[in-house]
């Protein structure tokens, strides 16, 4: 294959497309309040169809194109969707095999490329602020995926708050944005809405074709520039794993260079980072490093990248330092689907900061609540973080039990995150209130539930999973059944246990720490038979750090 140049639509052309899609949807019999599912990779047709649905008062339901069939079928059944919009015939066949014929399967091309006239595009019922607009399904790592209900007002509140925060970065600049994260993810959904509302052109790409190297492939089967090189964006959003991939890609190439080149590069990273810390923002002196040392790296992303938005999970200090020094300023965001993706974000006006999420956005209030049986006390400006505001979800779709559990009677949403207020007014997320950990790719790991599966192995007495939000994989500390067991053999056996238990890739441990000649019953267990997680991690910290390195 060979990639061509980007083709563009102006706002008038895009608006005409949206109206044609709306006309087609209406002729399909869809009306205000009907639920439809968008199931495809990130592309312009996804957003055009979404805008058409919003204009008619239809309710969009998101589903990752990588979701397993049972999760998608759960969403279809729970929402009672009238139609599914998809892009691949093989996916259409899968849906037809797994669902009754009363759900209409529609190929995106059949609606977006339609030649419908525009005589009857006004919706029968005008959308209202409090109308349900979007059901955004979570990944469902602790059970079936649950749907977050977002109204028109929720989306507008989050978008408006973001505009207020970033307008000085956007206005009077020749910006462009590259969209490649799944639009089923609240981060990409919100950022693209912000770009559209502020008049920033969006060019679409994919992980497969993002870089020149990925286009060429191992055997040189692809030709043309990668998406970043061709588009030359100034703004890019990515989960930590994306930024980590860029960092590791550069470092792997440096390993092949002369040692002097590698040392010069590492020294330049350190020097520029120190200057950014001192000055608080780029200047002529720091910019000199970009042209002399980091020009080749910046060229990989098109040479114009100014801002990298990181969200979905915390980004590590090492990665943020590398990206900020060599490529672009990194905006670290914090948000959840339940607050339409935005609760806080760091901005250049704060200086170069790490490990923080900024102050609350204009659409959200923060509140600290004591965490029982811990040292996290609200009076010390640390505790479980609760959120409230106009961008907060209406509730969980068809799950009043979960809604009541998550949202208090006076409107506060319990995030389950432990946060700390810093002296400069920013916040930092430091822990999880429950044993539910988000990895670098954004997947949640339910530790206790997963440990119960590994305990099926006859080779261990007990196990404590260790998950780091800076990493994309989990490890384990184990009490072996035989203290003389070979570590590699034990790891292999546990991985086989994971496979036979139906664990996903991210739920499969990558390495282990074996505690030999240690009686967990005395050292690491409560009287009720539960493991003392913090004691295990603390007591084996040195070995855990070695394994993760």
pLDDT in tens, 121-177: 676 778 999 999 999 998 654 467 899 999 999 999 999 999 999 998 998 889 999
The residues, any chain, with a CB within 8 Å of residue 35's CB and separated by 6 or more, are 58, 59, 61, 79, 80, 81, 82, 135
Q: What is the pLDDT of residues 377-423, one digit of tens each?
A: 999 999 999 999 999 999 999 999 999 999 999 999 999 888 999 99
pLDDT of residue 527: 45
Provide the CB-side half-sphere exposure for 290 (13 A, CA).
20
**Spans of the chain, pLDDT less than 50:** 141-142, 218, 527-528
pLDDT recorded at residue 218: 46
- pLDDT at residue 102, rounded to an integer: 73
The confidence score (pLDDT) of residue 225 equals 83
Neighbours of 473 (CB within 10 A): 18
- Give the DSSP H or E segment for 346: none
Structure tokens at 26: 């209406």
Q: How far apart are CA 474 and CA 477, in angstroms?
A: 10
Cα–Cα distance between 525 and 73 in angstroms, integer? 41
pLDDT of residue 528: 43
Q: What is the rounded distance in angstroms from the CA atom of residue 382 to the CA atom of residue 376?
A: 6
- Per-residue confidence (pLDDT) for residue 282, from 0 to 100: 82
DSSP 280: S
- What local confidence, expressed as pLDDT, does residue 324 receive? 93
Supply the pLDDT for residue 99: 54
Q: What are the structural domains, with CATH classification, of the chain?
A: 11-127 (3.40.50.980), 158-349 (3.40.50.980), 437-548 (3.30.300.30)
Q: How far is Cα 110 from Cα 127, in angstroms, rounded to an integer?
A: 25
Q: According to the model, what pLDDT value does residue 341 have? A: 95
């Amino acid at each position: 294959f060979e990639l061509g140049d980007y083709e563009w639509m102006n706002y008038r052309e895009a608006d005409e497309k949206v109206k044609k899609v709306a006309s087609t949807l209406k002729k399909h019999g869809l009306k205000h309040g009907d639920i439809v599912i968008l199931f495809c990779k990130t592309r312009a047709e996804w957003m055009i169809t979404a805008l058409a649905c919003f204009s008619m008062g239809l309710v969009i339901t998101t589903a990752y194109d990588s979701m397993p069939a049972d999760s998608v079928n759960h969403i279809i059944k729970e929402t009672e969707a009238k139609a599914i919009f998809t892009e691949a015939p093989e996916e259409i066949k899968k849906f037809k095999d797994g669902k009754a014929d009363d759900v209409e399967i529609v190929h995106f091309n059949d609606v977006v490329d339609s030649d419908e006239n525009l005589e009857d595009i006004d919706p029968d019922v005008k959308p209202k602020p409090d109308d349900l607009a979007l059901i955004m399904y979570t990944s469902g790592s602790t059970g079936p995926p649950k749907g977050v209900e977002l109204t028109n007002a929720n989306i507008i509140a989050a978008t408006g708050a973001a505009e207020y925060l970033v307008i000085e970065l956007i206005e009077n600049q020749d910006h462009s944005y590259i969209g490649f994260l799944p639009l089923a993810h609240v981060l990409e959904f919100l950022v693209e809405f912000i770009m559209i509302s502020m008049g920033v052109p969006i060019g679409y790409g994919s992980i497969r074709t993002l870089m020149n190297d990925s286009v060429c492939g191992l055997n040189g089967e692809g030709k043309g520039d990668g998406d970043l090189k061709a588009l030359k964006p100034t703004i890019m959003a990515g989960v930590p794993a994306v930024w980590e991939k860029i960092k590791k890609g550069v470092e792997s190439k440096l390993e092949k260079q002369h040692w002097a080149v590698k040392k010069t590069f590492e020294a330049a990273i350190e020097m520029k980072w120190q200057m950014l810390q001192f000055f608080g923002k780029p200047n002529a002196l720091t910019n000199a490093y970009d042209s002399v040392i980091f020009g080749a790296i910046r060229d990989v992303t098109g040479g114009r990248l100014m801002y990298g938005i990181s969200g979905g999970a915390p980004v590590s200090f090492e990665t943020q330092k590398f990206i900020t020094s060599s490529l672009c300023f990194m905006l670290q965001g914090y948000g959840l689907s339940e607050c339409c993706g935005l609760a806080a974000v760091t901005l250049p006006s704060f200086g170069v900061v790490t490990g923080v999420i900024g102050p609350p956005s204009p659409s959200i209030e923060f509140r600290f609540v004591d965490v029982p049986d811990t040292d996290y006390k609200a009076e010390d400006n640390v505790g479980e973080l609760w959120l409230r505001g106009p961008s907060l979800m209406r509730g969980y779709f068809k799950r009043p039990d979960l809604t009541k559990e998550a949202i208090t009677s006076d409107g506060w949403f319990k995030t389950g995150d432990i946060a700390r207020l810093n002296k400069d007014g920013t916040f930092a997320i430091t822990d999880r209130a429950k044993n539910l950990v988000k990895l670098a790719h954004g997947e949640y790991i339910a530790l206790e539930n997963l440990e119960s599966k590994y305990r099926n192995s006859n080779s261990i007495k007990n196990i404590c999973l260790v998950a780091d939000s800076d990493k994309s994989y989990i490890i384990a500390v184990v009490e072996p059944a035989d203290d003389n067991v070979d570590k590699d053999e034990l790891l292999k056996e546990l991985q086989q246990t994971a496979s036979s238990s139906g664990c996903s890739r991210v739920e499969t441990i990558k390495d282990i720490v074996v505690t030999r000649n240690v009686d967990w019953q005395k050292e690491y267990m409560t009287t009720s038979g539960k493991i003392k997680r913090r004691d295990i991690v603390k007591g084996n910290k040195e070995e855990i750090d070695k394994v993760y390195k």
